[in-house]
Every structure is written in C-alpha cells, then in structure tokens.
A and B are shown apart, each in its own frame.
Chain A
Amino acid sequence: MKREDLFLFLLLSAIVFVVPLFIKNSYYISILVFFGINAIMAVGLCLLLGYSGQISLAHAGFFGIGAYSSAIVTMHGLPPIVGVAIGIILTILVALTIGIPTLRLRGHYLGLATICAGEVIFICFKEMDSLTGGPSGLPDIPLFEIGSIVLTKPIHYYYMAWILALAVIYFSLNLVNTRIGRAVLSFRYKPVGSEDGALSVGIDVTRYRIKIFVLSTIFCSLAGSVYAHFMSFISPENFDLNFSTLLLIMIVVGGMGSIWGAIWGAGIMTYLPELLRAFKDFDTLIYGGILIGILVFMPEGLRVCFSQSLFGRFSITRRGNQDQKRGS
C-alpha cells in the first residue's frame, strides 16, 4: 500500500469508529449501513472497471446471490456464516459460468452480455418460487449471529458492514500496488494500458480478466449477505438492472480508476436520494440534474476535484492521449 493510501485508510478507519459516538439516530445509522454495503460493492466494481477496464451490468445479480443464499440458508436453521460461505461459493460458480464466455467480449458487447447475464439471475430469483419466494420476496430473514453474539440493532450492522468494508478496502489497496494489480491495470484500454503490451510481458490476459471479475463478484456476494440480515426482507426488485446501473454510477461519479473514488461515489449515491426526499415529487428531476452536472463538469469524478493534489495517476488520461497522438 502506498503511504498516502495508508494514511487515508487509517483516517477512514478512525472515522468509522468515531461516527457512532456522535450519531445515535437509527435512521442515520441505517443510511450509513447502506453506505458501507454499497462501498463494498463499489470497490469491487472499481477493481473491475476502473483497473481492468471491463464493464459489468450483472453485479446486482451477484449481490442478490449473496443475499438469497444467506436468507435461505439461515431460514433453514443453519448458522449465518454458512450462508455467507454458500453465497460466495455459488457466486464463484455463477461468475465463472458467465465470465468465461463473456469476458472474451470488449466494450459495448461486454456491457450487453452482462446485462443479459444479470437479467437471467434476476429472472431466477423471480421464478424459483419454492426457494426464493418468487416476486413477493422473502420475509423474516433471521438476524445475523456469530456464536452467542446476535446482531439486533442497526448499530451492530453498522459495525459489521464497515468492518467488512474496511477489510475489502485494505485488501484492494494492497492488491492494486502489487504484481497482480499491475497485471490487471496493464491490459486496460489504451493509452492507460495495452493488451498487446501485457501479453508481451507474459501476462495471461484472459485469466486475469476472469480472476478480477470473480473477485469483484465475491465482494458483491458479501455485501448481499449483510444486506439480507440487516433488512430481514428481500425481493427480486432489489437486485435488478437498475441497481447494477446505480453501482456503475457510483464509481463514475466518485471517479473511476481509484478505490477512494468508489467510496466517495458510494457515499454520495447512498445519501443523495435521502437528502432529496425533502423535494417530494421533484426529487428524481433534481437527482438527474445533479448527476448530469457532475458528469459534465467533473468528468473525472468527485474524488479528483476534492483531492487533486494527493493523487495524479488517472487524471492524466487525457494528457496521455495527446502524447500518444504526437508519438505516432
């Protein structure tokens, strides 16, 4: 991990543990739980899209697989940790089934293929009535428990979501600064990376595409497990294409190509709808306007605007373009 990343990570950890001292209102704590859950997924998607340059519109499906696995397993009386494990195993299997054929595709084609894959998972949730409760969903999901500790209050789930989020962030910040991280970044589209260049130094691009895809879906599955136990009710609508799109918006708004950008994006996209409730019927209009404004005026994401001096890596993309043109 780089020094500035480590500093920010420690800062974030401190904030996570200090915040509950000041915020007691369970409504705000709940929003922060959702923020944590979304952050886990956004960081995963950031590794996929921001680093390896692959798009996925199927990630809500993997969020759902985690959630349904946890729900179904615990409703059959097994311990929640088993549900989490089964969710991860199922996610890996489904991710490999989807990833191996579709990750040969690039750009728009990959986008379309993953929309279809996400839709297939969504339809499974809807149609496998006996298991998933069909369109009406699964109510009364048991609380999460480890050994004799039962998580009952939102604040418990706050700690659960954020400890997991911190673990995922720590993992990802390490990963991107190692051999594996460089390999994953290397085959990103030009001029940031080069697939031919990656192949020429012995990187098995196809394998890394699949590996990073699977890793990011595992994060989604973990988030799904937390979500199911926290909400105690899930239905297929939580895991549709809209949610996959929202995840993408998070990392685009926050700033693609940076783990911190993904966290910013997750925070803003979680809080913004709540903030706009005050505007009643106009909330969607204002919400859309803000998003367009961010994309037009801050195309590199909010993170870059807030911390331009600390990080410079991906903000050069456009400058890089010019160099490349001059070069050839």
Chain B
Amino acid sequence: MIQQEDHPVGENDILLRTHNLSIRFGGIWAVSELDLEVRLGKIHSVIGPNGAGKTTLFNMISGFIRPSAGEIYYAGHAIRKYKPHQLVKLGMARTFQRLELFGGMKVIENIMTGFHTKGSGGIFASGLYSGKVKKEEKSIREKAMEILKSIGLVEKQDKLAAELPYGEQKILEFGRALATSPKLLLLDEPVAGLNEHETLGMMKLIEQARGEGVTLLLIEHDVKMVINISDRITVLNFGKKIAEGTPGEIRRHPAVIEAYLGKE
C-alpha cells in the first residue's frame, strides 16, 4: 500500500500528476491546492488570465522553484525536491516564456548543448580530445543536424543564436528542448509573439513531437490555438483550478467564459 502511495503514477497512463500543489510568495498563494493529471502521449494545455499562476506551476514542475506544499509525481518519482538538471535525465524538458537561449553560441551549438546529458566525456578526456570524445562530438553533431532539419533551421546553423529573428529563436529553443529527447515537454507560451504563419509552423512542430510519442504540457494565451491543438485543457485563475476538460467542454464552461473567454 505504501508503495502505491509513493508511486501512484505508472500503473496507468498518467505521466505527471500534482497533488495538492501549492506555493506562497509572501502573503499570496500563487498556486494553491492544485491537482493536475497529464496523460501519456497527449497535449495538455493550461490557460488562464495573466497572473493566474501558470508559469509558477511550470517552474515548480520543472524544479526551478520548490513548492511550499503538495507533491509532484512524474514517471514513478516523487519529484518535489528534484533539481532541474536531474529532471532532464528523467526525460523532462522545457522552454521559457522569455527565451533562455545561449546567444553567444551558434545555432547548431545550442542544439548540441541540448544533448549534454547524452555525453559522458569528462574534463580531462575532453581537454586531451581522446578518441572517445572525438566520436561523441561527431555523433552529437550529427544528431543536432537531424534536429535542425526537422525544425527547418539547417541554413542558419552557423549563425549566432542572438542573431536570429524572434520567431526562429523560439523554434530554436523548442529544438534545444527536443535534443534532450524528452518524455514530457513543457512549453511556456510557444506561440506568444509569433505571427500567424510562424504560429502554424510551431503548431506543426508540436504535433510532430506528439506523433513521436512526446507528451506535451503547454501554457498559452492564444485560445484559438489551444482549442485547436489540445487534447485536454486546464483553466487556472488566481492560482486555483476553475475548470478542466476537453476543448469542447472548456468552451462551454460558464466559469471559464466568465473568467477568461468571455473577455476575448
């Protein structure tokens, strides 16, 4: 029984589950008592007005901030105290609302850095450029090229990431997250600031990732896009879940219309 309590995820198809998840900043509960379930292989979206606690939720799931209370279960692990880099090894990747690219590195090097956890060469082997490191570098470069092909940035591979236009930077960050070969990919406003054409491109990439078996959890303001793409939607307001369901259900949900959609 205790075993089951510790690992409530894994028997079924739930990849990520939060239980009673809460965090307080000063006197404000930014997220309170949130229960969330993300199913394997689905696209799950979290929407809500500004300040609803969406990004805070992401930061807690991905280990960037520690919750004040509650627990997060991911692929059989209770991950409340895990650090971001440990979660990457468990197959969790994320992007950021405000881009966190390596601007001084080339586009291909950004992707190659995404493969960090796949390599094993240490400082001394790397400094001496041993045969093993040489082989590893070559294979990382090849794999990075494959990702660049799939996201359509091959021609830009030798440009510095900081020199790319905003839309391509967003795509690059998505590609870098893919390079970690994630099971669960958290996308923080993947189409914010993109024009219609770029949005369509990003949606295609997201669906392509799902086709390859990646589970996606995303935050988005673009309601049209969310309703089009999501299998399931959770609506947050003031840190609390006010509704959850399929896109069709959410559209008709009175609390959602009042809090969010009604203002559109």
Cα A326 to Cα B121 with chains together (Å): 37
* Most-contacted residue by chain A among B105, B115, B136, B176 (CB, 10 A): B105
Is A129 at the interface (CB under 8 A from chain B)?
A: no
Is the CB–CB distance between A192 and B102 below 8 Å?
Answer: yes
Is the CB–CB distance between B62 and A327 below 8 Å?
Answer: no
Given contacts A199-B84, A199-B85, A323-B162, contact A174 B128 (CB under 8 A): yes
Is the CB–CB distance between B102 and A197 below 8 Å?
Answer: yes
Chain-B contact segment, one of A28-36, A175-183, A281-289:
A175-183
Is the CB–CB distance between A202 and B180 below 8 Å?
Answer: yes
* Shortest distance from the beta carbon of A137 to any chain B beta carbon, whole Å: 34
Is B89 at the interface (CB under 8 A from chain A)?
A: yes
Is the CB–CB distance between B163 and A319 below 8 Å?
Answer: yes
Is B179 at the interface (CB under 8 A from chain A)?
A: yes
Is the CB–CB distance between A174 and B127 below 8 Å?
Answer: yes
Is A232 at the interface (CB under 8 A from chain B)?
A: no
Given contacts A185-B102, A186-B102, A188-B104, contact A324 B112 (CB under 8 A): no
Chain-A contact segment, one of B68-76, B92-100, B203-211:
B92-100
Q: Across the two chains, which residue of chain B brings its CB closest to A192?
A: B104
Is the CB–CB distance between A194 and B136 below 8 Å?
Answer: no
Q: Across the two chains, which residue of chain B brings its CB closest to A203?
A: B116
* Shortest distance from the beta carbon of A195 to any chain B beta carbon, whole Å: 8
* Shortest distance from the beta carbon of B257 to any chain A beta carbon, whole Å: 32
Cα A102 to Cα B11 with chains together (Å): 44
| Interface positions of B from 98 to 117, Cβ below 8 Å from A | 98-105, 109, 112-117
Is B133 at the interface (CB under 8 A from chain A)?
A: yes
Given contacts A196-B96, A197-B96, A203-B116, contact A313 B121 (CB under 8 A): no
* Most-contacted residue by chain B among A178, A194, A196 (CB, 10 A): A178
Is the CB–CB distance between B162 and A186 below 8 Å?
Answer: no
Cα A177 to Cα B163 with chains together (Å): 21
Which residue of B83, B127, B133, B179 is within 8 Å of A201 (Cβ)? B179
Residues of B within 8 A of A326 (CB): 166
* Shortest distance from the beta carbon of B113 to any chain A beta carbon, whole Å: 5
Which residue of A172, A179, A197, A257 is within 8 Å of B137 (Cβ)? A179
Residues of B within 8 A of A194 (CB): 100-103
Is the CB–CB distance between B113 and A186 below 8 Å?
Answer: yes
| Interface positions of B from 125 to 183, Cβ below 8 Å from A | 126-129, 133, 136-137, 140, 160, 162-164, 166, 169, 173, 176-177, 179-180
Is A156 at the interface (CB under 8 A from chain B)?
A: no
Is the CB–CB distance between A180 and B123 below 8 Å?
Answer: yes
Is the CB–CB distance between A314 and B100 below 8 Å?
Answer: no
Cα A180 to Cα B126 with chains together (Å): 7
Is the CB–CB distance between B180 and A215 below 8 Å?
Answer: no
Is the CB–CB distance between B117 and A201 below 8 Å?
Answer: yes
Residues of B within 8 A of A193 (CB): 102-105
Cα A172 to Cα B128 with chains together (Å): 9
Cα A177 to Cα B85 with chains together (Å): 22
Is the CB–CB distance between B104 and A178 below 8 Å?
Answer: no
Q: Across the two chains, which residue of chain B brings its CB closest to A208?
A: B123
Cα A215 to Cα B126 with chains together (Å): 13
Cα A134 to Cα B94 with chains together (Å): 55
Is A204 at the interface (CB under 8 A from chain B)?
A: yes
Which residue of A174, A197, A215, A257 is within 8 Å of B100 (Cβ)? A197
Is A311 at the interface (CB under 8 A from chain B)?
A: no
Is the CB–CB distance between B116 and A190 below 8 Å?
Answer: no
Is the CB–CB distance between B103 and A180 below 8 Å?
Answer: no
Is B88 at the interface (CB under 8 A from chain A)?
A: yes
Is the CB–CB distance between A182 and B116 below 8 Å?
Answer: yes
Residues on A facing B (Cβ under 8 Å): 1, 171-172, 174-175, 177-183, 185-186, 188, 190-194, 196-205, 211, 215, 257, 313-314, 316-317, 319-320, 323-324, 326-328
- Of all A-B residue pairs in the complex, the 5 with the closest CB atoms, nearest first, are A202-B88, A192-B104, A320-B162, A197-B100, A191-B103
6 A-B residue pairings within 8 Å (CB atoms)? A179-B119, A194-B103, A200-B100, A201-B116, A320-B103, A320-B163
Residues on B facing A (Cβ under 8 Å): 62, 64, 83-85, 88-89, 93-96, 98-105, 109, 112-117, 119, 121-123, 126-129, 133, 136-137, 140, 160, 162-164, 166, 169, 173, 176-177, 179-180
